[in-house]
Chains A and B, each alone.
Chain A
Amino acid sequence: MTEGMGPAYEDIAEAVLAAAARPLPEEAAAAARRTMVNVLAVALGASRSPQVTRLAGALATPSGVPAAPGVAGYARAADAALLTGFAAHLDDFDDTHLATVIHPGASVLGAAWSAGWSAAVPGKALLAAFALGCEIQLRLGLAVSPEHYDRGWHITGTCGVIGAAVTAGLLGALERDRLADALRLASLQTLGHREAFGTEVKPFHAGKAAANGLVAAEEAARGTFTAGAGGILPDIGDLLRALAPDRRQPHQLLDGFGSRWELAANTFKPYPCGIVAHPGIDAAVQAHRQGVDPADVTRVRYRCHPLVPELMGRLDPRTGLEARFSAVHGVAAGLVRGNGGLAEFSDAAATDPVLSGLRSRIELCPEEAMPRDAATLEIEVVDGSCTEWPVAHARGSLLRPLTDQELIDKAEALAPGQAYSIWAAVARLGRETEPRTVQALLEPARQEVPVP
């Protein structure tokens, strides 16, 4: 049942500022550090992709903010935020808050990249701004879930704008009423239709969410459009109603804010594709390692959660981007190559005749009772025998999270030679009182790197 309208923007701003004024609890700080390292590495990994290169060219300016992690040149602040968020989500390799299906890191990284460039706040304030931007968008997501996503909205874009505004507002040192206005302006700039999945508009959602959050904070500071705004749009209820007209839970926004952290439930992807396909890929990799020869496979029954065909139902992807929305492709890659990395979701892999041949022999079998992080492959081979390959909890899920070392290994694969120094720089953030930017986190290590 839908409750009330929603908290006043001033109350949200006050809660955010109060939380930012206190040291982050270790649980939240650790989650923020892991989220930041992961999403920075994913952005670096995508930085030389044709899509990022093309977008960087379109947005380039002679001066301004550094364009994005790993991308040479400059862009206007909002465009640098856009490019950074785009790169961070392009490969669908970032993070997922499973209860909302939000990828919180990308939009907030984009906002921090640009807003933090000129602000240069103390390292611990940078980490707090990043954490609170993630936290507020996850709580907004909970307030409108599951209706919002089920209707067809890309929740990473819609809720990401609000998170990005919080991060940009904190880095811009907005006081309560200005931060409240930033949230109002962000509420008028949400974006993201799931119709765009499988195209570059999907990562554009995360990038533009970052840019729009930044613009909201900057415009709130100027005050051009916000005189009397509190009387026109007093609370967040109008936005909640737009995002989920039938069912919403406004209390999710502020209940336990600052003491209970949704960010702590963020998870990190071991494979660059939709997370609902991960248990199937795990099972396929397991079968490969146990010696199942894909050439012998006549049929695979892929028993899965119903969201798998809903979100990952492409049966014959023609590009790497489309392959990221093809669960049967992921399973075929796992069976044939024993892996599910970026190479397995490249354009070349999508058109690999061995993989496309095997894809055609895999049948999606959704089951209502199958948990989201589970799957079973029933693999039949030429002699008529059939083996079952069940996975109870996918790698990277809440009950089987990536370890710190696995995260570093993932980052190293994405950004060779940089993972350990980024990990160390981010690890120091929470203790730093001197000015720090996200850009500085990518500079080579200047001290011994702690091994987790």
Chain B
Amino acid sequence: MTITVRMARFAAETLVEPAATAAVASLCGALPAAGTEAGRRPADIAARWVACAALHHANAGGAGRAQAEQGLAVGLELALRMLHSLDGQVVGGWDPVCAAVAVGAATAAARVDGLGSEAITRAIGIAATQASGLAAVSLSPLGTFQHRRAALNGLQAAALARAGMTAPGTALEGRRGLYSLIAPTGDPAGAIERLGERWLVVERPVPPGQVPPEGALPGADLWSAALTYAMEVFS
């Protein structure tokens, strides 16, 4: 089984741990206060955009909160794992956040839609080939532009995979795939190490200013505000 297929199977089939669901629910609750790219860590930027993509997609498609949270949990988990495995390995000045957001948004939307692993493999293929953006602008308004585009590209990748577009099954680890091109010394296998056992979404430190009310998951008002925020971000 290829690494790309392994990630797709995770996105399609894994049972999301309650702790992961709670973590992404908290993320959603804090989303409207997430702010822009300036001063943010790559993982926080990726989390914000994958969350916006997942919520936008779920809301536009009439999916419920549970579906949205499940989709976000698997999509963000894959995005964070990609970001972690690309860290320090990127050549040429590409922005790894864009790659992670595109794949994270694609898999999140695909999970919300209930796509199977074969279709999600293709969604990853369509998203991965669009990895771009420059690290030099990542924290500026141009960074906002490229991360927003990456999120939209991910959503479109899921839609096109659902429509039947063919794509490679080795988009991440192939000889001319994402890792080879933007991080030739990176190890794509690192992105699937203990996948499904260890959840990075749970371990992700909550950024200052985004700490949810102690011990509480966002209520209906906060959830509604998060959906509104996600819709406005892409309007």
Q: What residues make up the interface of A, taking CB atoms closer than 8 Å to B?
A: 51, 54-55, 57-58, 151-154, 157, 184-185, 187-201, 204-205, 208, 212, 215, 219, 225-229, 232-233, 238-239, 241-245, 321
Contact = CB atoms under 8 A, between A and B. Distances in A.
A199 B142 contact: no
Interface string B141-172: 11011100100000000011011111110110
B129 A195 contact: yes
Contacts of A187: 134
B125 interface: yes
Interface of B: 91-94, 125-126, 128-134, 136-137, 140-142, 144-146, 149, 159-160, 162-168, 170-171, 174-178, 180-181
A321 B165 CA distance: 12
A194 B128 CA distance: 11
Contact of B165 (A54, A154, A215): A54
A202 to B, nearest CB: 9
Contacts of B126: 201, 204
Interface hub of A184, A199, A229, A241 (most chain B Cβ within 10 A) = A199
10 contacts: A152-B175, A188-B133, A193-B174, A193-B181, A195-B175, A201-B168, A208-B130, A225-B144, A225-B145, A229-B141
B149 A242 contact: no
B13 to A, nearest CB: 23
A233 B166 CA distance: 35
Contacts, number: 131
B49 to A, nearest CB: 14
Given A188-B146, A199-B166, A242 B141 contact: no
Contacts of A188: 132-134, 137, 142, 145-146, 149
A41 B190 CA distance: 46
Nearest to A192: B129
Contacts of A233: 134, 136-137, 142
Contacts of A245: 91-92
B142 A191 contact: no
Nearest to A152: B176
Contacts of B94: 242
A58 B175 contact: no
Nearest to B133: A188
B134 A196 contact: no
Contacts of A242: 92-94, 134
A233 B139 CA distance: 12
Contact of A191 (B91, B132, B168): B132
B166 A321 contact: yes
A189 B137 CA distance: 13
Given A195-B176, A196-B171, 10 more contacts: A51-B165, A54-B164, A55-B160, A153-B181, A192-B129, A193-B171, A193-B181, A195-B178, A199-B166, A225-B144
Contact of B145 (A185, A198, A204): A185
A195 B149 contact: no
B149 A55 contact: no
A215 B93 CA distance: 23
B180 A152 contact: yes
